[in-house]
Structure 1
């Protein structure tokens, strides 16, 4: 018997040693050799390059080139890259129809798919590549759940469109539809806008959820500096991708884990930085879910407190006139940090191996018009406010940075709709009056199912000239492109028999953003009586993933996580 056979190819400090070491692992070694790998390569760290590239939407169509640069960096640093794809959905393709029901639920599928691939193959480290609304939070959730060395590369924003000398984002097409209906635009003008408003690859050119979450990813130290706002088409994006590949091998060698980076203090900083730039209402869905994976906590009250204490220093479309391009040229996340230096804890380590303070100090760019100093902030508070009251005992959210002053406090009669499509028909049909409060229900995580985004409705209000005089409340959610007094994520939702389920046309709804109140001007006794008379909720979907999702998903107030 030959007792000298150990077949040890890899140091046992690597997780992947379980895959290649030992007599019993001859099968995996044979597979690797059959794919062209050498014995020497089996000794190197195995790095998963998890890519959400697809050919269906602009946020991910360019990620194959990003992955190529990442893999070059990994190989150069002495690792072995293994690229694998997972799904990604673009909110823009799913707006206004039942496809949107699948978008928020896809977050859980993406996170789960990364987990099972990384753990099933015992990878040593991960580079996670993605760029749109649910994909960035899903990747961060996966990294923190698995807790092996990981680094994120976000795909970067799309360049702004130029029309008649002004800059636009794709989201503004939906607002232009109202002008078309009213006869303020010709069909040929509108068609021309379609041809130019999405000029190339990247996430939509606005401070929507995709770019808000990319800023958050950099602010919590999970990307290299400059990654969030480096645009999709730039050489800097490819350099950051390659540098991320180089860096992940060092993180594996040093055993630096995501939960070492994302502490409670770092999580707080991420919220602070993102709120200072007008971050999306969907932050309130994703950050609590990310915190949970890190074994930390972030409630709506916590988010509200940080927002209230954070100056609003960068006003980016749709809330302002500046673009993501302007923000990038002004220093991006590092520029925001430099402006907030006196209020923020920047002495926290990032995946770069340097602290945020060190990264910000290396920045050359500065533009005090785009990123204002704290003493010249647009407002003393950040982008989001969380409202509570008898209509939202668990909470609701509004992007206050996009609300005109005269609508911060509003009372008006309810106009109730059981889905977004019916509300959109009423808006375009001139059935909504100034002062109304549109109520869209049956759009929550369970009742939707999947908590659809109401951008078609909110954009219709803008296009019809109603966004500064009509409020909208829903148990669904909003795009970061939403403007006006639009209050979403109302919890408890319709399916959970929250009071939103029993609002009647004509009921007066009181909104007070400054006092954080959302009230139905109906007595508690009447609300209870109406709820008691409601029939049992009947789910819209009874089979497949969405049916399982609806049964397991929790409240939007807790991040719509699966229980």
Structure 2
């Protein structure tokens, strides 16, 4: 027997005459009495057989476990869910994608508190999983390190690099008759070549960048590819480091300050980060009592240079980005825009990390003096159509479409819009409006990737799109999402009628429905909410508790 002479939470389980049953269970699992004096480390493994970003994670976790044992801790692996947004696209599954973020965060909290782990290593990747990890870390405020699963290698087809989102654009080309179905099938066999998150600056890799910028991963983790040896070494180092963090009494709240979140936003804007960062970063900050608003994104993006242009915004790949120096090199280039005194889980300050970083390719990671733009990737638009804001990836919009005025083509779901686009019923100059796809109306705020990809594939470059839904990080073009308030709660987007003129003015940050106030008032009086699309299960509960997109679409606590 041993006494509770050290401050490990896990001693709640193993110390005391009345804990004999717990110790018996642990001995049954193979632990020695001496092991029970060591810190217990929970390892979150989001391995999933139907997920290219996660089916390699058992191997990654093995290296984490090795690191924990080597450092004098005891690893305990447990799993949680991980939806692949790729499979959820264009079907009911996408309604569950964003809501899965809350389930993942909650499940980690439940296991960690129930088993009294002393620290966590969270292993996973992709769109909602990394944000959920960060929410759980912020909420629990226990020693924790994230090991992101890493991007897949880029797909190669006919000698060029591609990412999976380009298959949807290719489908539009087949519709137009400029690509054959056989070529499309050949392309399918090439564009998802290895394990890992999709090889583009979509939400998955944007949030991996954010995790590293927040200081919650080991340096270089975000861009270390899934199949590379460096990912295994980072995994083992993370397992080793977490035991040190537990023994030091590290708390994530010590580094997750408002300024840290601001720095992470700047890094995301510098690399062309996804519009979904505007949902996820506020939700993470909320867990530590910090409010991050769309206005913060607008302010920070407007003063952050755009340095890295990766697919879908440019032609460089995540592998190019890694080879050029990754996140540390970007933070070095940002210089005084980043607080270099901040500490990270690695035990190094940001300044110590960036001092060792090198920009190995100044065309992939540009300098501030040679930036693609003096503004970052995102812009927040406001106007009568979005009084609480809407978001656009301005760096992925052709200059000729930064300002556009056109007639509204109104659809109450993405499915209706896709039928119209693929059926040739949308004209150049139109502004597609897709509504009742917000957090409540969706429910679950589906991605509109199928619609936006068809616009590209059908060569409808002069068509705008406005929605209270959201977009994949793979989206490009004059497409505006997160319109708030959403249609389901009486937002003006629910009052738009076919043929109404809509003004999109990205430089002036305006999104206007060009209809008189008197006419809008008349329409408001006759407006009725749509019947809920889902009337049972998790989504029925979710729609009653979820906050607006401009808040981060997290679940209210009361």
Using structure 2 for the length normalisation, give the TM-score. 0.99
Tell me, in whole angstroms, the C-alpha distance in 2 between the residues paired with 1:556 and 1:489. Answer: 6
Distance 1:530 1:166 in 2: 51
Is 1:199 the counterpart of 2:193 in the alignment?
Answer: yes
In the alignment, which residue of structure 1 is the partner of 2:81? 87
| Residues 1:514 and 2:507 are matched in the alignment | yes
1:36-70 superposed Cα distances (whole Å, 9 cap, x missing partner)? 11100000000000111111010111111111100
Matched, 1:556 2:549: yes
- Structure 1 counterpart of 2:22, from 25, 28, 51: 28
Q: Secondary structure at the match of 2:504?
A: strand
Deviation for aligned residue 1:365: 5.0
Any conservation in 1 of the 2:272–2:377 contact (CA below 8 Å)?
yes
Equivalent in the alignment of 1:123: 117
Matched, 1:430 2:436: no
Q: Is residue 9–residue 20 contact of structure 1 (8 Å, CA) maintained in 2?
A: no
Q: How many residues align?
A: 556
Shift of 1:528: 2.0
Q: What is the rounded CA distance, in whole Å, between the counterparts of 2:123 and 2:513 in structure 1?
A: 44
Q: 1:461: which partner in 2? A: 455
1:361 aligned onto 2:355: yes
Unaligned runs of 5+ in 2: none
Contact kept in structure 1, 2:85 and 2:127, CA below 8 Å: yes
How far is the alpha carbon of 1:526 from its aligned partner?
Answer: 1.4
**2:132 matched residue in structure 1:** 138
Distance 1:322 1:190 in 2: 22
Alignment match of 2:302 (pick from 290, 295, 308) = 308
2:466 corresponds to which of 458, 473, 490: 473
Secondary structure of the equivalent of 1:341? helix
Cα distance in structure 1, aligned partners of 2:326 and 2:18: 51
- Partner residue, 1:289: 283
* Correspondence 1:388-407 to 2 at 5 A: 388-407=382-401
Written as runs of structure 1 = structure 2, the 5 A alignment for 1:512-551 is 512-551=505-544
Q: Which residue of 2 aligns with 1:211?
A: 205
Moved more, 339-348 or 135-144: 339-348
State the shift of 1:110 in Å. Answer: 0.2
Contact 2:143 2:246 in 1 (8 A): yes
Match of 2:91 in 1: 97
Alpha-carbon distance in structure 1 between the residues aligned to 2:213 and 2:336: 16
My pick for the range that moved more, 258-267 or 147-156, is 258-267
Instruction: Find out whether 1:373 has 2:367 as its counterpart.
Output: yes
C-alpha distance after superposition, 1:409-462 (max 9, x if no partner): 000000001111111111111100000000011100000000000000000000
Deviation at 1:492, TM superposition (A): 0.6
In the TM superposition, residue 187 of structure 1 has moved relative to its aligned partner by 1.3
1:25-424 alignment, distance < 5 Å: 25-364=19-358, 366-424=360-418
Q: Which runs of 4+ in 1 moved over 6 A?
A: none
Within 5 Å, give how 1:475-490 maps onto structure 2: 475-490=468-483
C-alpha distance in structure 2 between counterparts of 1:410 and 1:84, whole Å: 50
Q: Specify the SS of the correspondent of 2:93.
A: helix
Q: How far is 1:343 from its partner?
A: 2.3
In structure 1, the partner of 2:433 is 439
Query: Is the contact made by 1:418 and 1:441 (CA closer than 8 Å) also made in structure 2?
Result: yes
* Maintained 8 Å contact 1:156/1:203: yes
**Residues of 1 paired with 2:531 and 2:423: CA distance?**
29
Offset at 1:364?
A: 4.4
Task: Give 1:363 deviation, angstroms.
Answer: 2.5
Q: Secondary structure at the match of 1:443?
A: coil
CA distance in structure 2 between the aligned counterparts of 1:115 and 1:294, rounded to whole angstroms = 14
Give distance in 1, aligned partners of 2:193 and 2:206: 20
Contact kept? 1:329, 1:365, Cα under 8 Å: no
1:3 alignment partner in structure 2: none
Alignment partner of 1:500: what SS?
helix
Would you say the 8 A contact 2:329–2:358 is kept in 1?
Answer: no
1:131 deviates by: 0.3
Cα deviations by residue, 1:473-520 (Å, 9 ceiling, x for unpaired): 000000011010000010111111101111000000001001111000
Deviates more, 1:404-413 or 1:292-301: 292-301
Aligned counterparts of 2:321 and 2:164: Cα–Cα separation in 1: 18
| DSSP 3-state at the match of 1:311 | coil
Structure 1, unaligned stretches of length 5 or more?
Answer: 1-6
The CA distance in 2 between the partners of 1:556 and 1:111, in whole Å, is 18
Task: Kindly indicate whether the alpha-carbon contact (under 8 Å) linking 1:10 and 1:44 is maintained by their aligned counterparts in 2.
Answer: no
User: What is the alpha-carbon distance in structure 1 between the residues aligned to residue 199 and residue 49 of structure 2?
Assistant: 19
Q: Distance in 1 between matches of 2:531 and 2:411?
A: 17
Between 1:388-397 and 1:526-535, the stretch displaced more is 526-535
- Partners of 2:520 and 2:279 in 1: CA distance: 27
CA distance in 1 between counterparts of 2:409 and 2:81 reads 38
C-alpha contact 2:359 2:365 (8 A) present in aligned 1: no
Q: Report the counterpart of residue 498 of structure 1 in structure 2.
A: 491
Q: TM-score, normalised by structure 1?
A: 0.98
For 1:339, what is the secondary structure of its paired residue? helix
Q: C-alpha displacement at 1:34, in angstroms? A: 1.0
What CA distance in whole angstroms lies between the structure 1 residues aligned with 2:445 and 2:118? 35
CA distance in 2, matches of 1:183, 1:156: 36
Contact 1:10 1:43 survives alignment (8 Å):
no
